[in-house]
Structure 1
Amino acid sequence: MSAILTAENLFHQVSTSEGPLTLLNNISLEVARGESLAVTGASGSGKSTLLGLLAGLDRPSAGKIWLAGDEINAMDEEQRAAVRARCVGFVFQTFQLLPGLTALENVMLPSELRGERGAAKRAEDFLARVGLEPRLRHYPRQLSGGEQQRVAIARAFASFSSEDAILFADEPTGSLDAGNGAKIIDLLFKLNGESNTTLILVTHEQRLAQRCTSHLHMAAGAVESYAPLSDGDSLSEVSA
């Protein structure tokens, strides 16, 4: 399988009152089309920073990233936004739904911004697939946490306009109870399989990471271990 995402020698620093702070230190990885990759590590290890860079939400201080054939680190924000609109869906831990829009309008938004026809039908279809057909006209404040996350997932899958689609998810079950978290995990992998997309997610949950084909463990902004997950593996065995 060919690579849909490649990162080469990524460094990322931010300025603080005490001087430069290194968030990522010399990270390289390659993700094949259709792969599912779990990124794990302790809080503050750089997982979410890495995810944001790989998705084109920010640029690294140094290093290169190729996303679906485009070298996004060399692009300005407008150019990166065009790449994201074509092939990136992003599920945030805090949902990031617009409070003044209904569930249907939140899911329609990416397609509308691209000027596509049939945005409402596409959004309705995805909301039905996540079990929210009766809640199309409800606003985020009228939905439970699990329902809001399902809207966010529907919006992420509705964001794709290319076969080179990658879904990024940052702690997709972090704000949910165990029951809703398990449902979201099943839903993510079900839709991911149906859509034949690539999945890259940050998680603390062993049950979620074990569903992925590969596992990258981070510590102090660097890759501590990387390995594919085979049947019967546990995270403790893979990352030891």
Structure 2
Amino acid sequence: MSRAILEVEGLNQLVQDGESSLSILENISFTINQGEAVAIVGASGSGKSTLLGMLAGLDIPSGGVVRFLGHDLTQLNEDKRATIRAEHVGFVFQSFQLLDHLSALENVMLATELTAMPNREKACRDMLERVGLGDRLNHTPKTLSGGEQQRVALARAFVRKPSVVFADEPTGSLDFATGQRIIDLMFALQKEQGTTLVLVTHDEKLAARCSRQLTVVAGKLVQEAV
């Protein structure tokens, strides 16, 4: 039986807009189990990226509970949430979020600095080889194509074999063909490692590759499609 990785109960997020409050998320509840691939979909401004940030413990909701591996993130301070992310979470962003002054290898190694990982450099080299960048280890981001930069980002996200990888529009900055190769690689890594994948996307084909889709409309979960 699969264990729950993420449990969300009655999640709400309000922001102050002058003298009134604006509801960004309203009464969101769902569970994501180990090894699932789940897409969060919805129109721009629906609240899906805000929801992803809550799941990762990057932000704290106004109300409700987010449990990550049994830890109630809403009751932890930022230092404790950061420790959980360092040990259990990988990220993939639309804009890659690589450091320009570091090589591909150094960017991947940066993700391992806060964890006790034996043979860190070898593990990072092996992961870059796995994503097809074995001959680009010492290249900085500005000398890499967009697809190559996103492969560095995938290597960085998966190198520690995290419990969860959160991906925010991972193909949004790429052309169609390059995006398809990134999608194939991301799901291959997820399957190899048994990682839980939670992604936000506008790409219907990418969402369809996931085992489930959570549809958010105006801050509310209106559909959970298998």
User: Is 1:79 aligned with 2:80?
Assistant: yes
SS at match of 1:135: coil
Q: Give matches, 1:53-202, under 5 Å.
A: 53-160=54-161, 165-202=163-200
* 1:15 CA displacement: 2.7
Equivalent residues of 2:39, 2:198 under 8 A apart: yes
Query: Is the contact between residue 131 and residue 185 of structure 2 (CA under 8 Å) also seen in structure 1?
Result: yes
After TM superposition, the structure 1 stretch with the greater mean CA deviation from structure 2, 112-121 or 81-90, is 112-121
Secondary structure (helix, strand or coil) at the match of 1:134 reads coil
Alpha-carbon distance, 1:18 to partner:
6.2
Partner Cα separation in structure 1 for residue 176 and residue 8 of structure 2: 33
Tell me, yes or no, if structure 1 residue 212 matches structure 2 residue 210: yes
Determine helix, strand or coil for the equivalent of 1:66.
Answer: strand
Gaps of 5+ in 2: none
Runs of 4+ in 1 over 2 A off after TM superposition: 14-21, 113-117
Q: Matched residues in 1 for 2:19 and 2:187: separation?
A: 43
SS at match of 1:111: coil
Deviation at 1:114, TM superposition (A): 2.2
Distance, in Å, in 2 between the alignment partners of 1:105 and 1:112 is 10
Contact 1:86 1:160 in 2 (8 A): no
Unaligned runs of 5+ in 1: 229-240
Please report how far the alpha carbon of residue 115 of structure 1 lies from its aligned counterpart in structure 2 after TM superposition: 4.6
Residue in 1 aligned with 2:52?
A: 51
Which secondary structure state, in structure 1, belongs to the residue aligned with residue 67 of structure 2?
strand
Distance 1:124 1:18 in 2: 53
CA-atom RMSD in angstroms: 1.3
Question: What TM-score do you get using the length of structure 2 for normalisation?
Answer: 0.96
SS at match of 1:207: helix
Q: Report the Cα distance in structure 1 between the residues aligned to 2:102 and 2:59, rounded to whole angstroms.
A: 26
Aligned partner of 2:141: which letter? P
CA distance in 1, matches of 2:148, 2:142: 10
For residues 210 and 126 of structure 1, the distance between their equivalents in structure 2, rounded to whole angstroms, comes to: 26
How far does residue 151 in structure 1 lie from its aligned partner after superposition? 0.6
**For residues 121-175 of structure 1, what are the alpha-carbon distances to aligned partners after superposition, in whole Å with 9 as ceiling and x for unaligned?**
11111111110111110111111111111111110012446xxx01110000001
Is the Cα–Cα contact under 8 Å of residues 89 and 167 in structure 1 kept in the other structure? yes
Q: Which residue of 2 aligns with 1:14?
A: 15
Q: How many residues align?
A: 225
Distance in 1 (alpha carbons) for counterparts of 2:53 and 2:130: 27
For residues 132 and 18 of structure 1, what CA distance do their matches in structure 2 show?
Answer: 52
In percent, how many aligned pairs have the same letter?
53
> 1:113, CA displacement in angstroms?
2.4
